[in-house]
Amino acid sequence: MINNIVNKDDQFYLDNINRYSDNESEIDSDIDGDSIDNDICIDINDNSKRFIPVTPSGSYISHNSLDDSMRHSNNSLSDLPIMEDIKLIRNKFYIRDIFIRELLSEFIGSFIYMLISNNIYANVIINGTYNITFIDWILISISCGISLVFGMYITIIKGGGGFLNPIIAFSVYLLKGMSGIKCFLYHIIYFVASFLSSFLIYIININRIREFGYGKDTSNIFTSYKNDGISSFNSVVVEFVLVILFIFIFLTLYDDFLIKKNIMLYCKLVCLLFIILSLSFGFDVQMAINPAMDFSSRIFLSIAPWGSSVFKYGNYWFWIPLIIPYIASSIGCVLYFILIKSQ
Look at the chain and report how many structural domains it folds into. Answer: 2
Mean pLDDT of 289-310: 93
Is the pTM higher than 0.85? The answer reads no
CA-closest candidate to residue 318, choices 229, 241, 250, 216: 216
CA–CA separation, 91 and 244 (whole Å): 44
The residues, ordered by sequence, that sit 6+ positions from 238 with a Cβ below 8 Å of its Cβ are: 230, 281, 284, 285
> Which phi and psi (to 5°) does residue 51 adopt?
-70, 125
Average pLDDT, the chain: 81
Which of 30-34, 136-140, 226-230 is least confident? 30-34
pLDDT at residue 13 above 50? no
Q: Which of 56, 91, 126 is the last residue of a domain?
A: 91
CA-closest candidate to residue 190, choices 216, 175, 169: 169
- Residue 296 confidence class, pLDDT cut points 50, 70, 90: very high
Burial label for 213, CB within 10 Å (0-12, 13-18, 19+), is exposed
CA–CA separation, 113 and 115 (whole Å): 6
- Residue 144 confidence class, pLDDT cut points 50, 70, 90: very high
User: Does any domain span residue 3?
Assistant: no
Same domain, 83 and 128: no
User: Does any domain span residue 2?
Assistant: no
User: Does any domain span residue 151?
Assistant: yes
Which of 124-133, 174-183, 204-213, 229-238 is least confident? 124-133
Which of 106-110, 127-131, 276-280, 318-322 is least confident? 127-131
CA–CA separation, 250 and 257 (whole Å): 10
Per-residue pLDDT of 183-192, as tens digits, reads 999 999 999 9
The residues, ordered by sequence, that sit 6+ positions from 257 with a Cβ below 8 Å of its Cβ are: 263, 265, 266
Same domain, 169 and 294: yes
User: DSSP letter at 75?
Assistant: S
pLDDT at residue 51 above 60? no
- Cβ of 158: how many Cβ atoms within 10 Å? 15
Same domain, 66 and 110: no
Same domain, 155 and 32: no
pLDDT at residue 235 above 50? yes
- Cβ of 178: how many Cβ atoms within 10 Å? 18
Same domain, 58 and 103: no
- Residue 80 confidence class, pLDDT cut points 50, 70, 90: low
Q: Under a CB-based contact definition with an 8 Å cutoff, are residues 332 and 248 in contact?
A: yes
User: Does any domain span residue 1?
Assistant: no
CA-closest candidate to residue 106, choices 146, 170, 151, 155: 155
User: Does any domain span residue 142?
Assistant: yes
Q: What percent of the chain has pLDDT over 70?
A: 75
Q: Are strands 49-51 and 41-43 parallel, antiparallel or unpaired?
A: antiparallel
Of 80 and 208, more confident:
208
Provide the residue range defining the domain that includes 33. Answer: 8-91
Radius of gyration for the chain, computed over Cα atoms and rounded to the nearest angstrom: 32
pLDDT of residue 40: 39
Same domain, 175 and 161: yes
pLDDT at residue 297 above 90? yes
pLDDT at residue 52 above 60? no
pLDDT of residue 272: 97
Same domain, 86 and 116: no
pLDDT of residue 66: 44
CATH number of the domain to which 259 belongs: 1.20.1080.10
CA–CA separation, 168 and 261 (whole Å): 18
- Residue 130 confidence class, pLDDT cut points 50, 70, 90: low
